[in-house]
Amino acid sequence: MATPLAAEELARYTTDLQRTPGYPRLRYMGSKYKVVPYLTHLFGGIPFDMALDAFSGSGVVGYALKELGKQVTCNDFLRFPSTVAKAVIENRGVTLAPADVELLLSPNADGRDFIGRTFNGLYFPADDHAFLDAAWSHIDQLPEYKRELALSALCLAAARKQPRGVFTITDVRYDDGRRQMRMPLRELFVEAVAEYNRAVFDNGRVNRAICTDTLQVDPAGYDLVYFDPPYAPPTDDADYIKRYHFLEGLSVYWRGLTIMEETKTKKVTKRFTPFAYKTKVCAALRELFHRFRQSTIVLSYSSNSVPDEHELYNLLRGEKQNVEVYSVPHKYSFGTHEAAQRRDVHEYIFVAR
Ligand SMILES: C[S@@+](CC[C@H](N)C(=O)[O-])C[C@H]1O[C@@H](n2cnc3c(N)ncnc32)[C@H](O)[C@@H]1O
């Protein structure tokens, strides 16, 4: 059994990485911002060159791997995380110039108003919705990477203005006291562009962002795979779409997505993943570990989820000779109710080779 590191001990792990601490911070369920120093410490003890961040989410771990000089592939089956990964992990040097930002802030080029009509009275004031429609009327003119940077900045701006960063709340009057909640989205967008521009760099490698089910990713060629799947809670499900449907829609202007019109939040249909359900997660993890059995596997998992530490260990031992387990305290910054329930949560990090 892993002995949990004390919180003070964890705080002693600082990172030598210069860029990753300034990575544009998207409040994302299960994001690893806080454990990146410890994770990079563990990565430092493993010889590897080609890495897959297989459930990349906010992209912060893939970005840290990029800064470590590795050849990185990021994958997430949602569009907005993979857009972010393309903007800052695959992209080697393209940034948004002042003229691009001016274009994106200019009046609506074709009169589109899908966002204004669909979300009227829900998340943001009408001016903000109008800005999003207008910005999108210019997006398709932008070349690769500029486009992904612009979309990442729009998503970050929208997430920052939304209470707790989740789109389960539709009350426009809700105010959690942050200055971002009172700023126009266009100003938040300009700030976000500056942050994403600063994050762009070339690590001398050919990095990639892909957008598919991890169980479909070709496993060949990775020395190390990092798995941070949704954690299947004992009750409920770990549904990212429920929380981030607006960002997922915004990243593609809802093209190809189905809005569930009967829902108050106007969310899009759920993307099924077996990792989010306690009845399906074990079989999915077994398949995942088998698929990537040629690589060193680093797995993050939460202590109050299914399966437990013992079962995870056995699943990994089914494929790998040597399995080490580390455990770090983890505070979820999610909803007060959830946070209260998860106070004593630990996050396991398994290293299997
Ligand atoms: C715990 S989060 C990853 C957090 C990330 N490591 C970070 O630091 O922000 C899990 C991610 O897995 C993605 N996901 C869930 N099921 C998936 C699947 N079957 N294939 C690919 N991605 C999946 C979700 O969209 C979500 O972004």
For residue 333, name the pLDDT band (cuts at 50, 70, 90).
very low
Where does the pLDDT of residue 304 fall: very low under 50, low under 70, confident under 90, or very high at 90 and above? confident
Classify burial at 78, counting beta carbons within 10 Å of its beta carbon; exposed 0-12, middle 13-18, buried 19 or more: buried
pLDDT band, very low/low/confident/very high, at 331 (cuts 50, 70, 90):
low
- C-alpha 340/C-alpha 220 separation (Å) is 42
Q: Name the token pair of 208.
A: 């990639």
The confidence band for 47, taking pLDDT boundaries of 50, 70 and 90, is very high
- Cβ(28) – ligand 1 distance below 6 Å: yes
Question: Diameter of the chain by CA atoms?
Answer: 60
Residue 80: band (very low, low, confident or very high) from pLDDT cuts 50, 70, 90 = very high
Residues 246 and 239: beta-carbon distance below 8 Å: no
CA 22 to each of CA 18, 60, 142, 148: distance values in angstroms, whole numbers, following the listed order: 8, 10, 26, 19
**Separation of CA 143 from chain center:** 23
Q: Is the dihedral of CA 168, 28, 296, 199 positive or negative?
A: positive
In testing the pocket of ligand 1, which one of 63, 76, 251, 333 has its CB within 8 Å of the most ligand atoms? 76
Q: Can you tell me the distance from the alpha carbon of 93 to that of 146, in angstroms, rounded to the nearest whole number?
A: 10
Compute the average pLDDT of residues 141-169: 96
Ligand 1 atom closest to Cα of residue 28: 9
User: What distance in Å separates the CA atoms of residue 59 and residue 81, rounded to the nearest whole number?
Assistant: 7
Between 255 and 175, whose confidence is greater? 255
Q: What percent of the chain has pLDDT over 90?
A: 82
Atom of ligand 1 nearest to the CA of 60: 8
Cβ–ligand 1 distance for 30 under 6 Å, the answer: yes
Note the pLDDT tens digit of each residue in 172-192: 667 778 889 889 999 999 999
Is the full-model pTM beyond 0.85?
Answer: yes
Q: Is residue 334 predicted with pLDDT exceeding 60?
A: no
Alpha carbons 158 and 174: distance in angstroms, whole number: 15
The answer for residues whose C-beta is within 8 angstroms of residue 166's C-beta and 6 or more apart is 29, 243, 244
Kindly indicate the confidence band of residue 13, based on its pLDDT and cuts at 50, 70 and 90.
confident
Question: What is the distance between the alpha carbons of residues 201 and 203, in angstroms, rounded to a whole number?
Answer: 7
Structure tokens at 53: 């961040």
- Residue 77 has what pLDDT? 98
Domain map (residue ranges) of the chain = 7-273+291-323
Ligand 1 neighbourhood includes 227 CB (under 6 angstroms): no
Lowest mean pLDDT among 14-18, 75-79, 125-129: 14-18
Backbone torsions φ then ψ of 236, nearest 5 degrees: 65, -165
Q: Is 229 in the pocket of ligand 1 (CB under 6 A)?
A: yes
d(CA 89, CA 74): 8
The reported pLDDT for the residue numbered 340 is: 47
Q: How far apart are CA 295 and CA 292, in angstroms?
A: 6
Top mutation candidate among 74, 77, 280 for ligand 1, by most atoms within 8 Å of CB = 77
Parallel/antiparallel/unpaired status of strands 224-227 and 346-352: unpaired
Element (H, E) at 208: strand 208-210
Is-contact 207 72, C-beta < 8 A? yes
- From CA 100, how far away is CA 248, in angstroms rounded? 23
- Residue 272: partners with Cβ closer than 8 Å, 6 or more residues away: none
